[in-house]
Amino acid sequence: MLEIKVNHIAQVSVHQAEQQDKPPSLPVKTIKNSPSMMRFKETAQFIIEMMPRKNYGEAGASQKYWLEIKDPKHRDRISLNGLDAQSGALSAWLEDVNNKTGLFQWIDQHPDVEINTLKNKPKHPLSLDVGYINYLSPDQATDYWVTISQGEWKTGNKLLNTTHLPSKAGMEGHAAIVIHRDGNIFVHPYEKGKWQHTSTTEGKPVLSAGMILIEQGKAKSFYLDSGHYMPQRPQLEHLLARLAAQGVNINELDIHAKHIAQNDIKALVRQYSR
């Protein structure tokens, strides 16, 4: 079994002592890759992958969605976490004193466990209202990759049109837009419990995320809005810079950002449209 050597100073001490026929002053400590150690390393790697590079203006997925991202079946976060610390499948799993399995395996074994989504609310079987979020592989995600040339948005060789796609309430005709950390832009449906802003990103950090209305290849309206990524001003700047560089007339784009004043939005548009 692979062993991880620690305490390099101790190893040097042992080697020197052996050369001098003296007992070592410090023992060599080894840590075996036990199942618990492997789980720890896997969790640590997952956390590292979730961390945005703030100096690059990236946004990371909110921690309340991490279980949804980590779940191999990507069950919706409300079914997994609930809306407080005492609800959802996670709470039921923690209450099972006889449990010896991980959360996701336990849920697979107890699909009809009674849960509520908020403390003191009526309970229901998990399977009755669980949603499964689409998390696409990189190959699958290419179907939603868009190119922009001289202000025209295309998927493949076709002009993009989002008006027929499912969307958020109050944002009819708008589709989810995500700028991956490599700069590639993806546009896809938004449908609660099925399609989210993490659907093409595997939950990893992004440069921007929101909702966009595109009619026959022309961008009309944009909302800086994503429950998963909670985008702020740096993410709006990434979007404006990217679109302006691709020939989009951002002066004609109707922009909404609930945490940014309209005067500040107009100033950013002037800045990036030069």
- Cβ–Cβ < 8 Å for 181, 195: no
Largest CA distance in the chain: 82
**Residue 26 pLDDT:** 53
Mean pLDDT of 132-156: 96
Q: Are 106 and 115 in contact (CB under 8 A)?
A: no
pLDDT band of 12, cuts 50, 70, 90 = very low
pLDDT reported for residue 33 = 73
pLDDT band at 100 (very low <50, low <70, confident <90, very high): confident
pLDDT for 245-259, tens place per residue? 999 999 999 999 999
Question: What is residue 229's DSSP assignment?
Answer: T
Residues 245, 257: Cα–Cα separation, whole Å: 21
Q: Could you tell me which residues come within 8 angstroms of residue 232 by beta carbon, excluding any fewer than 6 positions away?
A: 59, 224, 259, 260
6-20, 68-82, 98-112, 192-206: the lowest-pLDDT one? 6-20
Quick: pLDDT tens for 174-210.
Answer: 999 999 999 999 999 999 999 999 999 999 999 999 9
Res 20: pLDDT: 43
Residue 4 has pLDDT above 50, yes or no: no
In this prediction, residue 37 carries a pLDDT of 86
Does the structure show a pLDDT above 70 at 5? Answer: no
pLDDT of residue 222: 98
Is residue 232 classed exposed, middle or buried when 0-12, 13-18 and 19+ CB atoms within 10 A define those classes? middle
If pLDDT is split at 50, 70 and 90, which confidence band does 244 have? very high
Question: What integer pLDDT is reported at residue 18 of this predicted model?
Answer: 39
CA distances from 250 to 25, 184, 272 (A): 69, 18, 8
Residue 112 CB-density burial (10 A; 0-12 exposed, 13-18 middle, 19+ buried): exposed
Judge contact between 46 and 63, C-beta under 8 A: no
Q: Whose CA is closest to 110, among 120, 99, 119?
A: 99
Q: Could you tell me the residue ranges of all domains in the chain?
A: 3-38, 63-129, 138-272
Reported as a pLDDT band with limits 50, 70 and 90, residue 28 is: low
Q: Buried b / exposed e across 129-139, counting CB within 10 Å, b at 16+?
A: ebbebbbbeee
Mean pLDDT over residues 24-39, rounded? Answer: 66
Q: What is the pLDDT of residues 51-97, one digit of tens each?
A: 999 999 999 999 999 999 999 999 999 999 999 878 999 999 999 98
Instruction: Please give the mean pLDDT across all residues of the chain.
Output: 88
| Cα–Cα distances in angstroms (integers) from residue 29 to residues 26, 35, 77, 82, 207, in the given order | 9, 18, 41, 42, 43
Query: Is the pLDDT confidence value at 19 over 50?
Result: no
Distance of alpha carbon 41 from alpha carbon 231, whole angstroms: 29
**DSSP letters for 72-104:** TT-B-HHHHH-SSTT-HHHHHHHH-TT--S-HH
How confident is the model at residue 17, as a pLDDT? Answer: 36
**pLDDT at 154 > cutoff 60:** yes
Reduced to 3 states, what is the DSSP secondary structure of residue 213? strand
pLDDT for the residue 30: 57
- Region 33-40: mean pLDDT is 81
Residue type present at position 29: K
Residues 6 or more apart whose CB falls under 8 angstroms from that of 110 comprise: 92, 126
pLDDT of residue 14: 33
